[in-house]
């Protein structure tokens, strides 16, 4: 009975320690840190290009900086690319319509030649 009691106490301690470790891991998974946030700054003058180190140093006065990236505003470019894609698809659709119309005209012309040939053919009577 004494060994059983010791085993139960050790098992209880091990279970409590495992539960505590899991609880701390769960808490860390739900904690926010600086990498969960980003800051977008627009309207910086293009003629005053600052090196990345200078930009980082400037923003570090408010807290930890994980990374600094200088990106261009590509909204106009993206808009033009979308428009290009739409026009390209419209052009393909128009080319298909023209090809179908040509095929239809060819079939009509072939049919008209066959009708004309049958009218001028001597009767086999």
- For residue 38, give the nearest of 57, 65, 56, 62 by alpha carbon: 65
Over the stretch 18-38, which tens digit does the pLDDT of each residue have?
777 766 666 666 666 666 677
Average pLDDT over residues 59-64: 82
Over the stretch 83-116, which tens digit does the pLDDT of each residue have?
999 999 999 999 999 999 999 999 999 888 888 8
Is the pLDDT confidence value at 124 over 70? no
Tokens of 49: 């290009």
> Cα–Cα–Cα angle for 71, 72, 74, nearest 5°?
125
Task: Say how far apart CA 121 and CA 36 lie, in whole Å.
Answer: 86
């Amino acid at each position: 009975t004494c060994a059983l009691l010791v085993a139960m106490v050790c098992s209880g301690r091990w279970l409590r320690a495992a539960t505590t470790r899991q609880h701390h891991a769960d808490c860390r998974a739900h904690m926010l840190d600086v990498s969960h946030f980003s800051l977008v700054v627009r309207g910086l003058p293009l003629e005053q290009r600052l090196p990345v180190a200078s930009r980082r140093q400037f923003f570090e006065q408010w807290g930890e900086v994980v990374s600094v990236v200088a990106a261009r505003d590509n909204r106009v470019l993206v808009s033009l690319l979308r428009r290009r894609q739409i026009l390209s698809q419209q052009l393909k659709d128009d080319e298909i319509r023209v090809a179908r119309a040509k095929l239809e005209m060819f079939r009509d012309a072939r049919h008209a030649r066959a009708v004309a040939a049958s009218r001028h053919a001597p009767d086999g009577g």
